[in-house]
Amino acid sequence: MTRKQPEEQDIRRYTYRASASVSRPLVRRRELSQRDIREQDQPQEVEKDQAQVLRVRRVTLPHEAVQPMTWAERQERFRQPRGEQPVRRRLVKRTLAQTGRQAPVGQIRVNKPLPTRRAGSSVPARSRQVQRGRSFWRRLLGFLGLLAVVGGVIGFALLSPTFHVQQVTISGTQNQALIDSIRHMGIQGQNIFLLNSSAVVSHLEAFPLVASASLNIQPPGTVIVTIEERVPVLLWQSGTSTFGIAQDGTVIAPLNQLSGTNHLALVVDERHAPAMHPGARLNAANVAFAEQVFEQAPGIPGVAPFALQYVDRIPAGGGTEPANQAGSGSYVIASASGWKAYLGDATNSNPLANRLLELQQILGMARQQNLQLATIDLRFGFRPTYTLKS
């Protein structure tokens, strides 16, 4: 297969003729005479031949005709990602070294960062040492000045009477005895920054009348004491004194120092025990047991009215007590009819509802048989016993 030789290139000559009038200077039409105009219009062959300038332009035809791209191809070429992303360089202000003149405004694009200044200082070594020494003393004097200011503020806060407790406000209680006790605790006159709030609260909660307490300090000299009082749920008579008992068994205060106790039930303590005093504690379970007795016993026929006593031993002829319960206390229902029912306390295994049911059955049998009961012992489970009057 032989390749077809390309046709001989067609060389076309184009002759460019320069007009003689181009090289001549332009003269205004009004300054030319009629003669000059006629001479200029006449053809001058000699000048034309000399003024001819031959210029040759070579025109070549391509080997193959290339079809131009269509509009869709151009759009696709435009959508293709470029090979390299242009590098974005930061803009900096023009400098005198770059522009050669003052240029306070304007920005130029730099290809490399500006030359940095050397770390070394142009200050001589001796001057640098003097400057370091001055800086040290300046920092030392500043620190001493700050220390003096802080010391002055602390001294003013601790020694000035402005920050001493001038007023103690008590809220949450109307008990005058408790209010007087709080005011005599020595809170007033102390510095509010040196006042030990935790110790004061612990001291307040040690009062039998106080269930909880909180302390709020309001500068410059006010202290607010908030009290939550213990509420008596039972009255307890020991000897000739009667006290209010809280739910947790705490002996609150004598009856004459309490208010709103007219609706409370009374337990008479018949034990041979030391005299009771405020702050002493009873068993909380026994206090709850006594409350249940006062709630449930009046519903039994033949019981009311009655008094509830607390004894530590069984009277003679009252029955035999197990060895493991010797000397333990017991609640006793003393009826107005003259009989006594020993209920025991909260430590007995037999529930109180069962004991009261047994009491009801014994009282019903006594009414039917016309018996005169003296004692009823309900402390030993399902073996209740009773005695008759002689």
Q: What is the tens place of the pLDDT at every residue in 69-119?
A: 888 888 888 887 766 565 565 665 656 665 565 555 555 555 555 556 555
What's the mean per-residue pLDDT of the chain?
77
pLDDT over 90 (residue 213): yes
Residue with the bigger pLDDT between 323 and 19: it is 19
Residue 123 clears pLDDT 90, i.e. is over it: no
**32, pLDDT greater than 80:** no
Nearby residues of 3 by Cβ (< 8 Å), 6 or more positions away? none
Q: What is the per-residue pLDDT for 119?
A: 56
> pLDDT at residue 121 above 80?
no
Domains and CATH numbers, the chain: 163-229 (3.10.20.310), 232-388 (3.40.50)
Residue 94 has a pLDDT of 59
Query: If pLDDT is split at 50, 70 and 90, which confidence band does 54 have?
Result: low
Confidence band (pLDDT; 50, 70, 90) for 52? low
Quickly state the pLDDT bin for 265 (edges 50, 70, 90). very high
- Return the higher-pLDDT residue of 207 and 67: 207
Give the mean model confidence (pLDDT) for residues 297-321.
75
Q: Looking at residue 21, what is its pLDDT?
A: 43
Higher pLDDT, 34 or 137: 137
Q: What mean pLDDT is predicted for residues 222-237?
A: 93
What's residue 83's pLDDT? Answer: 61
Name which residue leads in pLDDT, 169 or 92. 169
What pLDDT does 13 receive? 47
pLDDT at position 319 is: 47
Q: What is the pLDDT of residue 308?
A: 94
Whether the per-residue pLDDT at 23 is higher than 50: the answer is no
